[in-house]
Every structure is written in C-alpha cells, then in structure tokens.
C-alpha cells in the first residue's frame, strides 16, 4: 500500500466512524424537543419538589441528594428548545421557550427561597453552596460540552442515558437554589454569583444546541432576510459579555492553586532554620495579597533568621508581606524555664518562706498552675538514652496545632540531637514510643542536623 492509498483508507475509516447519518432522526428530535418545552401540569409539581430536594441537599451539604434532585429536574427542555429555535429561525419557538424558562425560573426561586426561610438547619460549612457562587471559564466549558452531548442524545434514534449525565454535569438546579438561599438570607454575593452561573449554563447549553442543530441541518422556518443575521450578532455579543467575567474568576482560581502549592513546598523544604522549627501552617486567601501563617517552635526567631526565611520564601514566589509568624510554642518554652527557676528558688528558701504563710499559699497556687505544664524531661531523656545511646541532647515543650475543621489541640514537640544522626525509622519509633509514654497522640519529633 502506497502513501496515497493509506491516506484514502484513513479518510474512509474516519468518515465511517464520525458519520451521524445512520444514527440521527432530525424530524423526531425536532418534534420531541417542541413537545417537551411546554411547562404545565405534572412538570410544575415535579420542578417544585426537585428544587426543595436540591435545597435540602445544599443545606446539609449532601452531594448524593443534590445529584438526585438534578436527575428529577425538567429544567433543560426549554433551554434546548431556545437553541433549536435559534438554529431553525423559529421566532415562535424562541418566545415559547423563553416564556417557559421564565416560569421555571420563578417557581424555582419561590421554592428555594421559601425553604431557606423556614428551614431550622444552620449552614455552618456551606461548601456546596459556595461552589455555585464563583463561576469560571471551566463552568462555561462544562455547560457547552454538556449541551453538545444533550442535543446529540435527543437527536439520535436509539436513546441512552446521556441526558441524565448532562443534567448532573451542567447543574442547573443548584445555582437556582443558591440564589434562593441568598435572597432568604439577604446575601447578595451568593445570589449574584449563583445567578451568573445559571445564566452561563443556559446560554452555553443553548449555544451548543444551536451549533449542532445547524450542523445536522434541522429544517428552518422561513423569515425575512437580515433578521437571522441580527439575531446571530446579538447572540454573539451576549456570549462575549457573559464570558469576560468567567476568565477573571478562572485566573483567580489558578493564582489560589499556585499559592497553595508554593506554600506547601516552601514549608516542606524549610521546616527548620537554626533552632526554630515550622511545625504547622495555614493559608488565608480571603483577600489579596494571600497570606501564609507559620506556627513556630523551638528558639525565638532572630532577625537574621527571619530575614533568611524571607529570602528563601521569595524563591517560591512568596513575598515577606505574605508571611505571618506565630511563635506560640517558643513562648511556652520560656514559661517552662521560668517555672523551673521558680521551683529552685522555693526549694533553696523554704525555711524563710515558711514564716510568710500568705506568700507561700500564693506561690503554691501559682506552682499548681505551672505544674500541669511541666513535662518529665529528665526522666524521658534518661529512658531515651538507654535505648539510643547516640542521643546527646533532648528538649521537650508544648505547642498548639489546629487541624483543618477541628479545634486547637495540644501538641508535644521533642527536639533531639544525635551523633551519628538517627535514621527516619528510629525517629518514627521514638515518636510512637513517646505518644504512649506521654499519653498524647500528637507528638512531633525533630532532629537537629
């Protein structure tokens, strides 16, 4: 087979694979779409019920419930009908589709607003609601390609389950429920963001329908010359207006993701600097510039060490005004040292203090408060050296750690020096042993280099 024959065979193969002629029934699809855009009777009740179900799912942050509501919803039919009317120059179908979409929109807002006005449930961590308030270019892509899949499914002779997947992917109902939540709670940021997402879905599902309808040569309705061109120009301008804000949102999403990654790598590669250790960190992207909060343990960070840390952060694109230091654990170390000094002072002056009953009672009350903070450092050091004789120096202190979604928890920080250095397996064994010995599962072990 020569090159020319190969190219011809390849073309024939792809034509056969991509051909839609034998699988599409344009007339049946046209009739089916026109019949389903009418919104009355059972569809009204089904939509109302589906909106309430979706609102409950958003309220309790349940993804399966939200998906179930999207499968029930009849919202997509008038949107596809609008795309069909645009593609076939059918003004009556356009107006009828818009009318039914408006009715659906009104019922959806009414149902969701009423639900969020009367629900006794608090929405403490509304991640599913928030996901519908910040649309981006990625939502545009989902809506467009979902619309392509939807109109192709409606046009094919043998129907499958594609429409169910399109209903879930394009997510028309959750944005409307979020608008209702915003209205019920006077939260116009939620309401406007979700309304924008709903318009994105409607416009780009309709656009996808229009393009496929033209590609499959659905029969057109005759109309005056130039009217179709004006409608097309108006549609293009509308699409551009909707697209622009989504690009800005997508840009912010990329910036946030880069900051998360840069922060993670920065902390991982710079966990210790001198006698100071970064044992925990959080990021704050609520406003610009984004912030990274470093929680420190060990020695108080000197000015030179702070400057060095700023220099290292710049390699990851993090500027000095984005770094916030929290030196809780270093303060705790200082307090523990003061406690030990106070105990020694009391022991050396016990006879004197016995004559001052009021002072003794006061000092003992203070000592009782400090006692809870003291760790058995000397005993722990002796026990560790008996198992690992190479350990030359050990220090224990307390700190605070704030895991995602939880309250602040106490963490015990252990700093040790060994010659030769201990292996990572030994450090892990020491950490596990100390967790049992100190009855605290939050133990972090750091080894001086």
CB 416 within 8 A of CB 396: no
Question: 338-348, pLDDT tens digit by residue?
Answer: 555 556 555 66
Separation CA 380–CA 2 (nearest Å): 81
Question: 154-196, pLDDT tens digit by residue?
Answer: 888 776 666 666 666 666 778 888 888 888 888 888 888 888 8
Q: Give residue 127's pLDDT.
A: 55
Q: Give residue 223's pLDDT.
A: 58
Q: Which residues of the chain, if any, have pLDDT below 70? A: 1-2, 18-19, 21, 121-136, 159-171, 222-229, 231-232, 235-236, 238-247, 249-250, 328-374, 400-408, 449
Q: Give residue 192's pLDDT.
A: 83
3-class DSSP string for the chain:
CCHHHHHHHHHHHHHHHHCCCCCECHHHHHHHHHHHCCCCCHHHHHHHHHHHHHHHHHHCCCHHHHHHHHHHCCCHHHHHHHHHHHHCCCHHHHHHHHHHHHHHHHHHHHHHHHHHHHCCCCCCCCHHHHCCCCCCHHHHHHHHHHHHHHHHHHHECCCCCHHHHHHHHHCCHHHHHHHHHHHHCCCHHHHHHHHHHHHHHHHHHHHHHHHHHHHCCCCCCCCCCCHHHHHHHHHHHHHHHHHHHHHHHHHHHHHHHHHHHHHHHHHHHCCEECCEEEEEEEEECCCCCCEEEEEEEECCCCHHHHHHHHHHHHCCCCCHHHEEEECHHHHHHHHHHHHHHHHHHHHHCHHHHHCCHHHHHHHHHHHHHHHCCCCCHHHHHHHHHHHCCCEEEEEEEEEEECCCCCCCEEEEEEEEEECCCCCHHHHHHHHHHHHHHCCCCCEEEEECC
pTM: 0.59
Q: Give residue 225's pLDDT.
A: 54
Count of CB atoms situated within 10 Å of the CB of 340:
12
Q: Give residue 373's pLDDT.
A: 57
- Mean pLDDT value across the chain: 77
Separation CA 296–CA 325 (nearest Å): 7
Instruction: Provide the token pair at 218.
Output: 């659905």
């Amino acid at each position: 087979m020569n090159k020319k024959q190969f190219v011809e065979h390849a073309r024939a193969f792809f034509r056969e694979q991509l051909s839609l002629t034998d699988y599409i029934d344009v007339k049946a699809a046209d009739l089916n779409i026109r019949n389903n855009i009418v919104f009355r009777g059972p569809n009204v009740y089904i939509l109302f019920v589906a909106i309430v179900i979706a609102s409950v799912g958003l309220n309790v942050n349940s993804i399966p419930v939200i998906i179930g509501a999207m499968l029930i919803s009849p919202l997509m039919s008038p949107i596809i009908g609008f795309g069909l009317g645009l593609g076939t120059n059918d003004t009556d179908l356009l107006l009828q589709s818009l009318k039914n979409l408006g009715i659906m929109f009104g019922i959806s807002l009414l149902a969701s607003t009423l639900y969020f006005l009367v629900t006794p449930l608090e929405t403490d961590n509304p991640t599913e609601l928030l996901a519908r308030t910040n649309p981006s270019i990625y939502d545009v892509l989902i809506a467009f390609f979902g619309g392509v899949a939807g109109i192709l499914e409606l046009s094919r002779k043998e129907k499958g389950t594609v429409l169910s997947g399109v209903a879930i992917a394009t997510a028309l109902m959750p944005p409307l429920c979020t608008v209702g939540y915003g209205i019920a709670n006077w939260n116009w940021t939620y309401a406007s963001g979700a309304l924008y997402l709903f318009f994105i879905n409607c416009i780009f599902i309709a656009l996808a329908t229009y393009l496929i309808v033209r590609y499959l040569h659905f029969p057109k309705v005759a109309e005056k010359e130039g009217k179709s061109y004006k409608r097309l120009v108006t549609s293009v301008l509308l699409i551009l207006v909707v697209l622009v804000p989504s690009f800005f949102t997508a840009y912010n999403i990329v910036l946030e993701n880069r900051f998360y990654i840069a922060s993670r790598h920065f902390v991982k590669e710079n966990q210790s600097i001198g006698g100071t250790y970064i044992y925990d960190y959080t990021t704050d992207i609520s406003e610009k510039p984004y912030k990274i909060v470093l929680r420190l343990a060990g020695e108080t960070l000197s000015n030179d060490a702070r400057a060095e840390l700023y220099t290292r952060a710049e390699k990851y694109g993090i500027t000095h005004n984005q770094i916030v230091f929290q030196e809780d654990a270093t303060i705790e170390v200082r307090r523990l040292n003061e406690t030990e000094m106070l105990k020694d002072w009391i022991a050396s002056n016990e006879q004197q203090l016995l004559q001052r009953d009021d002072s003794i009672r006061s000092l003992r009350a203070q000592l009782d408060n400090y006692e809870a903070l003291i760790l058995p450092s000397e005993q722990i050091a002796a026990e560790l050296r008996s198992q690992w004789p190479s350990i030359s120096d050990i220090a224990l202190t307390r700190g605070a750690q704030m895991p995602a979604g939880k309250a602040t928890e106490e963490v015990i920080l252990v700093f040790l020096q060994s010659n030769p250095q201990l292996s990572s397996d030994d450090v892990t064994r020491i950490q596990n042993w100390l967790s049992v010995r100190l009855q605290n599962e939050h133990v972090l072990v750091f080894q001086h280099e």
